[in-house]
């Protein structure tokens, strides 16, 4: 499929250590001009050349869509880092240049609905910062519910409380004994409201279930996971139809890793976000782990993202 991203070079003009685990990077165009426009909830893909290794991670833009003089991203150092977040924390300095993609939005705000309820867990706060700027600009009714383990993990809570959206933010701190009650919150949602959630998988699942129980339509429920879902499932055979080659994908392994030394596939993010590795399924069905395809597209079983998605059965034939 055609790559909808274009790559560009930006300069790192500020790095704030928000917490010991989270840094905020400010990025500006190297020619001093404005950066491409984006909407609240958009992300960019940052490509990092770390010696011989290349990392690509998607990060939500957390600056205002009204201010294109810079982008800001929040990067949490992941304990299970494949290398990208550690690279950003340890090796990127003010004045360095980075290669990033143009923005894309898989977590866009709805144009309809009487109210927008935003629910964040931990570093899942980042897309909501740009979304709140857009909602305020629209004059929309919105509220943010931001849940985190302890104040050490609640990056941006202080800034949000003191900032332009402070009146609309509620904070839930597990270590203080004030956790978020998802069911109670969703039960108060207006019937024509929209609910957005970003954070760890259990929070996303809890919010989706509560919204369905409340009777909200699927198009009123919006979610984004900030890291690729862990790939699970047994070993299977992948068949590359063009050459007839059959390769084994190990338990929990990715198709991409199993085939990339045999066939070249364009892969920008390697975490199910960008869509560049979308591949036609000729036989068999996929277990989808990506965030790119819609639920309807996943159910149709026509294509899959081979960087994260796997076969449902023992064998899958791909148009490669």
Region from 71-79, 123-131, 156-164, 265-273 binding ligand FES, contact rule CB under 6 A: 265-273
Q: Could you say which of 189, 272, 279, 289 contacts ligand FES (CB under 6 A)? A: 272
> Sign (positive/negative) of CA torsion 69, 26, 160, 217?
positive
Closer to ligand FES by Cβ: residue 5 or 148:
5
Q: Is 197 left (phi over 0), alpha (psi -120 to 50) or beta?
A: beta
Closer to ligand FES by Cβ: residue 116 or 288:
288
Closer to ligand FES by Cβ: residue 134 or 278:
278
Region from 73-81, 182-190, 203-211, 272-280 binding ligand FES, contact rule CB under 6 A: 272-280
Region from 19-27, 181-189, 195-203, 274-282 binding ligand FES, contact rule CB under 6 A: 274-282
User: Applying CB under 6 A, does 48 fall inside the site for ligand FES?
Assistant: no
CB-hemisphere CA count at 13 Å for 242? 7
User: Minimal distance in Å, beta carbon 197 to ligand FES?
Assistant: 21
User: Applying CB under 6 A, does 22 fall inside the site for ligand FES?
Assistant: no
Distance of alpha carbon 221 from alpha carbon 218, whole angstroms: 5
CB-hemisphere CA count at 13 Å for 228? 25
User: Applying CB under 6 A, does 55 fall inside the site for ligand FES?
Assistant: no
Q: Could you say which of 268, 281, 293, 316 contacts ligand FES (CB under 6 A)? A: 268
Closer to ligand FES by Cβ: residue 46 or 133:
46
CB-hemisphere CA count at 13 Å for 20? 4
User: Applying CB under 6 A, does 275 fall inside the site for ligand FES?
Assistant: yes
Region from 31-39, 98-106, 156-164, 261-269 binding ligand FES, contact rule CB under 6 A: 261-269
Q: Could you say which of 161, 267, 287, 312 contacts ligand FES (CB under 6 A)? A: 267
Asked if residues 28 and 13 have their Cβ atoms less than 8 Å apart, the reply is: yes
Q: Could you say which of 25, 87, 107, 292 contacts ligand FES (CB under 6 A)? A: 292
Closer to ligand FES by Cβ: residue 216 or 228:
228
Q: Could you say which of 75, 195, 208, 307 contacts ligand FES (CB under 6 A)? A: 307
| Pure H helices in the chain | 84-91, 126-138, 157-162, 182-187, 201-214, 255-259, 295-300
Distance of alpha carbon 176 from alpha carbon 179, whole angstroms: 8
User: Applying CB under 6 A, does 274 fall inside the site for ligand FES?
Assistant: yes
User: Minimal distance in Å, beta carbon 179 to ligand FES?
Assistant: 33
Q: Coil, helix or strand for 76?
A: strand
Q: Coil, helix or strand for 216?
A: coil
Size of the residue set binding ligand FES (CB under 6 A): 14
User: Minimal distance in Å, beta carbon 260 to ligand FES?
Assistant: 11
- With a CB cutoff of 8 Å and minimum separation 6, the contacts of 101 are 5, 6, 7, 8, 44, 45, 46, 47, 268, 274
**Interstrand relation of 53-60 and 43-50 (parallel, antiparallel or unpaired):** antiparallel
Distance of alpha carbon 60 from alpha carbon 196, whole angstroms: 14
Kindly list the residues in this chain that would bind ligand FES in the complex (CB under 6 A). Answer: 267-270, 272-277, 290, 292, 305, 307
């Amino acid at each position: 499929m055609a790559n909808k991203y274009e790559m560009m070079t930006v300069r790192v003009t500020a790095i704030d250590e928000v917490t010991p685990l989270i840094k905020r990077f400010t990025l500006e165009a190297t020619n001093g001009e404005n950066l491409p426009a984006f909407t609240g909830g958009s992300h960019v893909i940052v490509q990092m050349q770390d010696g011989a290794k290349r990392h690509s991670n998607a990060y939500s833009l957390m600056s205002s869509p009204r201010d294109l003089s810079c982008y800001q991203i929040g990067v949490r150092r992941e304990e299970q880092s494949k290398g990208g977040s550690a690279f950003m924390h340890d090796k990127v300095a003010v004045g360095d240049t980075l290669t990033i993609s143009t923005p894309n939005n898989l977590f866009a705000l709805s144009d309809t609905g009487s109210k927008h309820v935003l629910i964040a867990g931990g570093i899942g706060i980042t897309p909501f910062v740009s979304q709140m700027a857009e909602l305020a600009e629209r004059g929309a009714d919105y509220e943010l519910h931001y849940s985190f383990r302890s104040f050490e993990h609640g990056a941006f809570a202080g800034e949000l409380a003191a900032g332009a959206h402070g009146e609309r933010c509620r904070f839930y701190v597990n270590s203080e004994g004030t956790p978020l009650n998802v069911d109670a919150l969703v039960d108060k949602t207006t019937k024509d409201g929209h609910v957005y959630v970003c954070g760890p998988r259990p929070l996303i699942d809890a919010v989706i279930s509560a919204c369905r129980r409340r009777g909200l339509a699927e198009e009123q429920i919006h979610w984004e996971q900030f890291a690729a879902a862990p790939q699970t499932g047994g070993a299977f055979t992948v068949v590359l139809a063009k050459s007839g080659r059959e390769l084994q994908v190990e338990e929990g392994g990715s198709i991409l890793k199993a085939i990339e030394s045999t066939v070249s596939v364009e892969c920008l993010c390697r975490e199910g976000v960008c869509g560049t590795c979308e591949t036609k399924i000729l036989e068999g069905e996929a277990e989808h782990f990506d965030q790119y395809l819609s639920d309807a597209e996943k159910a149709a079983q026509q294509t899959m993202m081979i960087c994260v998605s796997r076969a449902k059965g023992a064998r899958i034939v791909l148009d490669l």
